[in-house]
Amino acid sequence: MKGLLIKDWKLLKQQGRFYLIVLLLAVMMLISGSKSYASFVTSYMTFLVAVFSFTTFSLDEYDNGMSFLMTLPAGRRMYVKEKYIFSILLLISGWLMAVLLRFTFITFRFSMQDWMEDAPTEPIYLLLALIFISCSIPCFIKFGVEKGRMGAMLAVAAILFGFYSLDKIGIARPFFRLLEQMMTSSVWSMVGILLIISLLILLISYLCSLKLIEKKEF
């Protein structure tokens, strides 16, 4: 596990200049933007870091690298576990950096009270990005990186369409009404609901990835 984590970290470090440019762009957008624009920077950086974690899949596939990795003592299941841990750690790190930038910008240019009003929305970006990662990793394992990107977008669309369909036919309408009431009463209620949903999707994603990697031929 430790060796795989170090491998992925070193692979990402090779593209350090690109990540630095992204960070500078985020800072420039904060400086030139308004208070409302700061929330876009948080979501922008959080989802961009989530996409960065997928780079390791591309590099693993390069020059039949997956065939070699599957021969290591760590095994297939450990490979999957490491990908989830690495992606989540990278996501949390990027999100914390984005939150720190937004906090510095708002408190410096406006006030602490403005930050306290916006703070409850920060975890929402993290949880949405976690759902995005959960939908993407099984697709990358099943189809590879190139086809997996399209599969991930379709998976997210399928989840949204599923919720929409259940609401339209009335099966889950009482449940959605309860969610709506909780969301309008408190932002933290919405965060709590989204946390449960994201963790459930993460668990299903992880179990699916384990089954997919066992059946995949390299």
Q: For residues 38-54, b (16+ Cβ closer than 10 Å) or e, as one string? A: bbebbbbbbbbbbebbb
pLDDT in tens, 168-213: 666 655 655 655 565 555 677 778 888 888 999 999 999 999 998 8
Q: What is the C-alpha to C-alpha distance for residues 24 and 98, in angstroms, rounded to an integer?
A: 12
In this model, does residue 71 exceed pLDDT 60? yes
Q: How confident is the model at residue 119 (pLDDT cuts 50, 70, 90)?
A: confident
Tokens 């929305």 correspond to 121
User: Looking at per-residue confidence, does 134 or 25 come out higher?
Assistant: 134
Q: Across all residues in the chain, what is the average pLDDT? A: 76
Look up the domain containing 74 and give its range: 2-215
- Biggest CA-to-CA distance, the chain: 56
Q: How far apart are CA 121 and CA 62, in angstroms?
A: 39
Q: Name residue 29's amino acid.
A: M
Q: 149 pLDDT exceeds 60?
A: yes
pLDDT at 136 over 70: yes
Which sign, positive or negative, has the C-alpha torsion 16, 127, 97, 10? negative
Q: What is the pLDDT of residue 205?
A: 93
Q: Hey, what's the torsion of the CAs at 170, 172, 178, 179, to 10 degrees?
A: -120
60-74, 108-122, 183-197: which range is least confident on average? Answer: 60-74
Q: What is the mean pLDDT of residues 29-40?
A: 66
| Structural domains of the chain, count | 1
- How far apart are alpha carbons 181 and 50 in whole angstroms? 31
Residue 33 and residue 20: Cα distance in Å, rounded? 20
pLDDT top residue among 87 and 216: 87
For a pLDDT cut of 70, what percent of the chain falls above it?
A: 64
pLDDT of residue 109: 73
Say if residue 59's pLDDT is above 70: yes
Of residues 154 and 136, the one with the higher pLDDT is 136
Percent of the residues in the chain that have a pLDDT greater than 90, as a whole number: 10
Q: 81 Cβ partners below 8 Å, 6+ apart?
A: 1, 206
Q: Report pLDDT for 48.
A: 81
- Residues ≥6 apart with Cβ < 8 Å to 145: 54, 57, 58, 61
Q: Give per-residue pLDDT as tens, 75-114.
A: 788 888 989 999 999 899 888 888 888 888 777 777 677 6
CA gap 40, 25 in Å, rounded: 12
Contact, 49 vs 90, CB < 8 A?
A: yes
